[in-house]
């Protein structure tokens, strides 16, 4: 679920005004999504490391050592390519989808299909040049024959030189994966491929020294979580292959090194020009689909349901459904009830970003932007600060020894001889210490619409932004990463509604237009008992914030509602914010009710005691069928959507 899809960058999360940053930088460990562990693109865009390099044509790797021998069946050879493509053609993906989502219509099942590493509707999904693999058993069998894997008369498993075509298949022991993979195994059998499954505990499959991290698989199934920005460099670049020689760093578990694809994915993440990014991502996708090193199986689905008297709710794959809660209307009632089966731990987004927390915090936030449909839209920003709009500038600057720069390894450093950087032409270079060097320097001006106030009536002001930057970039705050903070050279606070962030030369963040710095009510006087009582929030050290009720339980709001009551284990009550810049919300009161489980939440929806069971609660379990049946009878409304989470099967191209 999306509680682990939306990430903080450099701790630039906020309470009140600006949403947490939604990219995935600096998160070193995989993140668990129910039974799925997802290692989202985590390294800064420019990472240089020695590794094995193989040619796109399928030749042997250039370096000797572990994992340089192509797998004898699915390896990085012309014959291995035919086998991988055959497996793709032999896979009936709609049948796999139906096995786990029987409640979906054929039309909705089609929406879950993927041809590349990006879902349908994504702004960076290539429209031409992709190699597609429609279900075609005869084509699959022909490719296997061409690769030398033939089926002798009377046999059910193909063989080559007397060796049977048998492959191990590793995934988690979650019932969801066991269900669709059993169908996949049967499909492979029909093409003469024997699949031997291993359903491993997630702790092993996603462990730091086992399973995927050690490339201990032949076919491996798991899920990535897609994002508005495609990223992908840590997943697919040649220098991201985990090996004993690099202490198993990187997430390119296939061992895939296609230089054209690698250069394209790096180039796409080292330019701020969206059209150029689209072009480079298209080059990457063409190579990715041609080489068939990872078979996209399907997007996972999720569902939400709501009462017939409620209108205006917007379930979207890449945004929380409460983003527009001020626009909801409710017939005959002045209180809307949302059911959660999980309770937020805190209202401070800097230290928690679970879906339930983010769904709740949208009620308290005059959001700077939204992330609908895999893209960004300005909300309480006057506009997205892009280079095209003139609100961002990326200029060439001369740099010299001793200057602070952002290195090719994604770190702040003093420029000196032998430091690797990306020059203004986008080339990775190692500076010799004397030659003239130009690098790109990015500056971004964020401008907010006037009239934003805190719920106590105090206008948003420059000091609030200053406090946001100070706390969110303070190592004592509790944030887990400060990558973006470390890349910032300076912030100029120009007014009560605007500021300009200037990055160190070389820092080129593709999502720069949403890297807001945050804000907090600097004027608020602390009433929580303790050393900080009586101080203003601006006077409280960052290390003490996690203990402040004013931060973690009852923060001041800039959004449509104010959190007026939190009865732990029972409910949260939100009342209309009289000082909301967008005007009074249509529904005066919203209650988040904590219930025992999804079954109980659905039961209360059907009786009218609950008005909304969202995607974070309903998910895609058996209860979805219940609400869809009820919707067909006109008792409730329900919607299924393609989740950003996508199942795939990776091929390990090399063996020890």
Backbone angles phi, psi at 296, to 5 degrees: -65, 125
309-365+557-634: same fold as 34-300+647-655?
A: no
Cα maximum dimension of the chain: 86
Q: Give how far the C-alpha of residue 640 lies from the chain's centroid of Cα atoms, to the nearest Å.
A: 20
- Is the CB of residue 285 less than 8 Å from the CB of residue 117? yes
**Encoded tokens for 323:** 């983003």
Q: Tokens 């309903």 sit at which residue?
A: 618
Domain spans in the chain, listed from the N-terminal domain onward:
34-300+647-655, 309-365+557-634, 377-514
For the residues of 380-420, what is the DSSP string, one character each?
Answer: SBSS---TTTTSEEEEEEEE-TT-EEE-TTS-EEE--TT-E
pLDDT at 65: 61
- Is the CB of residue 625 less than 8 Å from the CB of residue 103? yes
How far apart are alpha carbons 130 and 116 in whole angstroms?
8
The tally of CA atoms less than 13 A away on the side-chain side of residue 624 is 22
Q: Give how far the C-alpha of residue 348 lies from the chain's centroid of Cα atoms, to the nearest Å.
A: 20
- Is the CB of residue 332 less than 8 Å from the CB of residue 585? no
pLDDT at 12: 35
pLDDT at 344: 95
For the residues of 434-487, what is the DSSP string, one character each?
Answer: SS-EEEEEEEEEEEBPTT-B-TTSPBP-HHHHHHHHHHHT-TTS--S--HHHHH
How far apart are alpha carbons 22 and 602 in whole angstroms?
30
pLDDT, block means (10 residues), the chain with 656 residues: 30 31 26 29 30 37 67 98 98 97 94 96 96 98 98 96 97 95 98 98 94 96 93 93 92 96 91 94 98 97 97 96 98 96 94 89 97 96 96 97 93 96 92 96 98 98 98 89 93 98 96 96 94 94 94 97 97 98 98 97 98 94 94 97 96 95
How far apart are alpha carbons 375 and 384 in whole angstroms?
11
**For 226-334, where are the alpha helices, taking DSSP H only?**
233-236, 259-268, 274-291
How far apart are alpha carbons 309 and 157 in whole angstroms?
58
How far apart are alpha carbons 488 and 484 in whole angstroms?
7
> What CATH homologous superfamily does 377-514 map to?
Dipeptide-binding Protein; Domain 1 (3.90.76.10)
How far apart are alpha carbons 619 and 624 in whole angstroms?
8
Helix (H, G, I), strand (E, B) or coil at 635: coil
Q: What angle do CA 300, 305, 311 make, to 5 degrees?
A: 125
How far apart are alpha carbons 449 and 422 in whole angstroms?
36
Specify whether domain 309-365+557-634 bears CATH 3.40.190.10. yes
Sign of CA dihedral 337, 339, 345, 348: negative
- Is the CB of residue 8 less than 8 Å from the CB of residue 479? yes
Measured from the Cβ of residue 475, the count of other Cβ atoms closer than 10 Å reads: 11
Backbone angles phi, psi at 283, to 5 degrees: -60, -45
Q: Give how far the C-alpha of residue 260 lies from the chain's centroid of Cα atoms, to the nearest Å.
A: 25
CATH architecture of structural domain 34-300+647-655: Roll (3.10)
pLDDT at 351: 85
How far apart are alpha carbons 343 and 327 in whole angstroms?
24
Helix (H, G, I), strand (E, B) or coil at 85: helix
């Amino acid at each position: 679920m999306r509680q682990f899809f939306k990430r903080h960058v450099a701790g630039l999360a906020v309470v009140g005004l600006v949403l947490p940053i939604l990219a995935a930088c600096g998160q070193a460990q995989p993140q668990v999504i129910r039974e799925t562990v997802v290692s989202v693109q985590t390294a800064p865009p420019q990472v240089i490391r020695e590794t094995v390099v193989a040619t796109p044509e399928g030749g042997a790797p250039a370096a000797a050592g572990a994992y340089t021998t192509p797998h004898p069946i699915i390896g990085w050879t012309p014959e291995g390519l035919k086998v991988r493509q055959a497996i793709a053609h032999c896979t009936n993906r709609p049948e796999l989808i139906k096995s786990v989502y029987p409640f979906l219509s054929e039309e909705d099942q089609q929406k879950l299909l993927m041809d590349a590493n990006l879902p349908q509707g994504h702004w960076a999904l290539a429209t031409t040049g992709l190699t597609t693999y429609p279900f075609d058993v005869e084509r699959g069998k022909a490719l296997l024959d061409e690769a030398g894997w033939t089926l002798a008369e009377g046999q059910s498993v193909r063989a080559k030189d007397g060796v049977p075509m048998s492959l191990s298949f590793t995934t988690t022991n979650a019932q969801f994966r066991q269900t669709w993979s059993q169908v996949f195994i049967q499909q492979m059998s029909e093409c003469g491929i024997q699949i031997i499954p291993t359903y491993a505990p997630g702790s092993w499959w996603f462990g730091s020294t086992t399973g995927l991290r050690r490339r201990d698989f032949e076919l491996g199934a798991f899920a990535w979580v897609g994002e508005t920005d495609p990223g992908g460099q840590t997943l697919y670049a040649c220098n991201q292959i985990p090996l004993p020689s690099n202490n198993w760093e990187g997430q390119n578990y296939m061992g895939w090194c296609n230089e054209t694809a690698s250069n394209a994915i790096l180039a796409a993440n080292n330019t701020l020009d969206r059209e150029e990014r689209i072009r480079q991502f298209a080059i990457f996708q063409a190579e990715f689909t041609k080489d068939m090193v990872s078979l996209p199986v399907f997007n996972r689905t999720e569902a939400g349901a709501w009462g017939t008297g409620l209108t205006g709710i917007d379930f979207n794959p890449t945004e929380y459904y409460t983003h527009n809660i001020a626009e909801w209307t409710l017939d005959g009632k002045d209180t809307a009830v949302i059911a959660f089966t999980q309770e937020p731990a805190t209202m401070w987004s800097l230290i928690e970003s679970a879906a339930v927390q983010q769904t709740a915090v949208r009620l308290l936030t005059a959001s700077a932007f939204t992330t609908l449909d895999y893209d960004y839209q300005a909300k309480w920003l006057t506009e997205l600060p892009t280079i095209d709009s003139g609100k961002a500038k990326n200029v060439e600057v001369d740099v010299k020894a001793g200057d602070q720069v952002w290195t090719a390894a994604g770190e702040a450093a003093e420029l000196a001889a032998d430091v690797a950087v990306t020059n203004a032409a986008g080339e990775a270079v190692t500076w010799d210490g004397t030659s003239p060097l130009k690098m790109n320097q990015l500056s971004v001006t964020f401008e907010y619409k006037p009239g934003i106030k805190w719920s106590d009536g105090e206008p948003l002001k420059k000091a609030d932004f200053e406090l946001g930057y100070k706390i969110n970039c303070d190592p004592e705050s509790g944030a887990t990463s400060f990558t973006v903070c470390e890349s910032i050279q300076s912030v100029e606070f120009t007014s009560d509604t605007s500021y300009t962030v200037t990055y160190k030369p070389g820092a080129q963040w593709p999502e720069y237009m949403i890297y807001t710095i945050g804000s907090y009510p600097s004027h608020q006087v602390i009433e929580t008992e303790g050393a900080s009582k009586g101080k203003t929030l601006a006077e409280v050290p960052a290390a003490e914030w996690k203990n402040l009720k004013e931060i973690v339980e009852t923060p001041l709001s800039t959004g449509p509602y104010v959190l007026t009551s939190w009865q732990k284990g029972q409910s949260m009550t939100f009342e209309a914010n009289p000082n909301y810049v967008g005007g009074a919300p249509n529904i005066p009161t919203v209650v988040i009710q904590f219930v025992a489980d999804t079954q109980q939440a659905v039961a209360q929806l059907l009786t009218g005691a609950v008005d909304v069971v969202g995607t974070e609660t309903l998910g895609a379990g058996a209860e979805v069928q219940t609400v869809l049946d009820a919707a067909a009878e006109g008792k409730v409304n329900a919607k299924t959507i393609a989740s950003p989470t996508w199942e795939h099967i990776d091929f390990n191209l090399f063996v020890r």
